[in-house]
Structure 1
Amino acid sequence: MQSIHLHPINDPLEKVWIMFLSRAVSSRARSRRMLATLAVVLLATVTGCAGGGDDSGGQAGEQGSPDTVRILVNPGSNSHVPIYVAQDAGIFRENGLDVQIVTNATAIQPLLTGDVDVAFPSPGQALIANEQGHDLRIFMTLIDKVLQAVVVRDEPKSGDTEYPDVLRQLTGKTLGVTVRGGAVDLNLRYVLREAGLNPDSDVTIVPTGNASAMLAAMQGGRVDGIMSLQPITAQLVTKGSGHVLVDLAKGEGPEAMNQPFITGVAAKSFIDAKPEVLDKLVESLRQAQEYIHDSANKAEFADIVKKRVYSTLTPSEIDQILAELGATTKTICFASKDLGNIAEVLITEGVVKKQADASSTIYTKAQEAAGCAAS
């Protein structure tokens, strides 16, 4: 596991100059945040010079040390890019957070063992964990559409081009997923089933391994199609060696697949102990969405994606990633309807037994504080 720990700068004036020197060129949204931070720092400096009192009376991160929070991310995943944006653009720091990014290939296990405070897995992971006796809460949406697509090697047949009819041409084909029983496998099975195909008899589904192995399987002809993830989709489409039949990120596919792909999850015990930290985290990631959508940040946004996730992609492939992230980070809100759609897929595929209770699965206060309507 790798962690990044940013130590606090204690001199208020030093904070001001570092922000101005390192971020002189910024978007309007970030400029407003900088001015707000500057006002707080200058006010603290003036009151301190006037014989102001003890910092312990204020909230952590406002006049004292920032609040530390450990966030789990998966290495090489574009699903966690908004977290990197909030870290690298200084948004977490401006909101009084000292974020330690912990990388681990497992989606949720370090959260269950208490090695991190917050994780951002697919929301189904929280439902599965809770059925197994854990007490987790979903507190926000990070990526609001499923970043998966059914991609085939051969040019699609003319005729039916929309879901569900477009998938009929997959009958008798071999389709690749990463691993059996994972989110990619479950989503493919559900999409096929809802299109009238039996995933166990009308097609052959095989595990190919990780993203690079899946790409190799497509390029080597070992599979006819895949339930694709990024950056595989961008690489195949850009090179003309893959054709998208159904793109879940664009809202294609069955209604239940219109659901968040990545959500914030924390243990109820952490939420009860530090609700103000969660408020700051959700607000920070809302501001990260603003940053992503501001065209003035495109070059810097591309640099963050290349540095943090995809250092080997071509500019054209990076542009596809940026466009998809812009289209799937439009809300931080997680509602009861989202929970119902997620549970519908998991129940259909035999992963969970019943619909989850919204009141004991969704923590709403932090997202409502950041502007979401009560659901």
Structure 2
Amino acid sequence: MRHKISRSARPWSVLLSLTVVLALIGAACGEDEELREVNLALSTTSGFGYGYWIAVGLGYYEDEGLDVNLQGTGGSADVAQILAANNAEAGMGVPGAMLPAIEAGAGLYPFFTYAYGEVFDVVVPNDSPIMDIAGLDGLRIGISELAGGEVPLVRALLVEAGLDPDNDVEIIEVGTNAPSVKAALDDGRIDAYSSAKSDIAAMNSAGLGTMTIAPASLNTLPAEGLLAAEDFKDDDELLIGLGRATAKGQLVAYTNLDGAVCVLKELIPEEFTDEEAGRSGLAAVIDITTAPQQGGEYQFGFLDAAGWNTYVNIFIQGGVINEQIDMGDYVIDDLLDEINDFDQQAIIDEANSLETDC
């Protein structure tokens, strides 16, 4: 079981009493009270997955009866393969990687939106004369890695702009290290760069200096979220628990950025080696992962088939997939009321009580 970060300081006498009580309860209930082990594949090991990490650190998955193992991967394409093989119950990924897998016969079922608006961007230096995707004709585009979720999107955007991704541009893997990307742009090895918005925000904080040339229409789509593997698509209790715990983790970060950073530094310290860049990246991620509100409360996880079908059309046009897919056959949208069935104010109060001096 993963170590759970303390939510608040408690007197030792209370902790001792609680330990004794829990031990007695555990002995009485036996195996029935054990947490269910669950593998959740993430498309990144970065702070972009803050909601999942905070849910682990503050014990929200355990509150749902789940012992969640977060599996970092090299990108959404890797997650699609893991889910297609039923090697994880659920995973986080982008449509650009999930739709080709679905077209190939994988049973992947979206049930929770984590990021609202496209999570990837295409940028150029602030002083570049390139103003849109069409302006990349004959030029070189840097990407984070060949398995990165930005690759299908870049290819689709190029086709939409009338360019052939295989002949009119050159796509080059340059990583996500800010000095390396800046050097590649400065010396002309690449003319534009595409990666996750959180990566780009961290690079800009480190002095990169870029502007987006991606279409504004991408900002309204369900860009990344959780999908269930075929064998688990009907396990409502599991999917609700994963969604609800993740939503609580997100709400903590919305409420108290400094407290969220302290939790994350315990779990993914490598993301905060440069604390300013780590904080900037997290703030940028929160901007694109903030759930819509209704009646003064967040509505976490909102998704519908229409948004996914928009991506189907984008990626058919971009040559990423070839066949129409009716995502109404895959999207699970009837669990959202139960996912959102928790006391948001209680989580806000807990978030505001977190340690911030770390």
Q: Contact conserved, 1:256 with 1:345, CA < 8 A, in 2?
A: no
SS in 1 for 2:100: helix
Match among 293, 297, 310 for residue 254 of structure 2 = 293
Structure 1 residue aligned with 2:99 = 127
In 2, Cα distance between equivalents of 1:217 and 1:293: 34
User: Deviations 1:82-103 (Å, cap 9, x if unpaired)?
Assistant: 1111111221122222112223
1:32 match: none
Q: Which residue of 1 aligns with 2:13?
A: none
Work out the CA distance in 1 between the residues paired with 2:330 and 2:193: 32
Q: Hey, what does 1:198 align to over in structure 2?
A: 163
Matches within 5 A, 1:188-337: 188-194=154-160, 196-200=161-165, 204-212=169-177, 214=181, 217-246=184-213, 253=215, 255=217, 258-272=220-234, 274-294=235-255, 297-306=256-265, 307-308=267-268, 310-315=271-276, 317-329=277-289, 330=291, 331-337=300-306
Q: Which residue of 2 aligns with 1:30?
A: none
**Cα RMSD, aligned residues only:** 3.6
SS at match of 2:171: strand
What is aligned with 1:13?
A: none
Q: Is the 8 A contact 2:50 2:250 kept in 1?
A: no
Note closer, same or farther for the CA distance 1:201–1:339 as it changes in structure 2 (3 Å cut): closer
CA contact (8 A) 1:72 1:119 kept: yes
Larger Rg: 1
The equivalent residue for 1:23 is 7
Unmatched 5+ residue regions in structure 2?
A: 11-17, 292-299, 342-358
- The offset of 1:202, in angstroms, is 9.4
The one-letter code matched in structure 2 to 1:322 is L
Q: Secondary structure at the match of 1:291?
A: helix
Alignment correspondent of 1:152: 124
Q: Deviations over 1:102-154 (max 9, x none)?
A: 23332222222232211112134332222212222111112222222222235
Matched-pair identity in %:
19
**Aligned letter for 2:217?**
E
Classify 1:93/1:368 alpha carbon distance in 2 versus 1 (closer, same or farther; 3 Å). Answer: same
Partner of 1:36: none
Counterpart residue number, 2:319: 350
Give 2:59's aligned amino acid: G
Q: TM-score, normalised by structure 2?
A: 0.74
TM-score (norm 1): 0.71
Query: What corresponds to 2:64 in structure 1?
Result: 95
Gaps of 5+ in 1: 8-17, 27-40
Distance 1:123 1:202 in 2: 24
Deviations 1:185-215 (A, max 9, x none): 3322333444x45254995232224323655
- SS of the equivalent of 1:108 reads helix
Task: Output the amino acid matched with 1:268.
Answer: E
Distance, in Å, in 2 between the alignment partners of 1:364 and 1:167 is 34
TM-aligned CA distance change 1:241 to 1:254, over 3 Å: closer
Structure 1 letter corresponding to 2:111: F
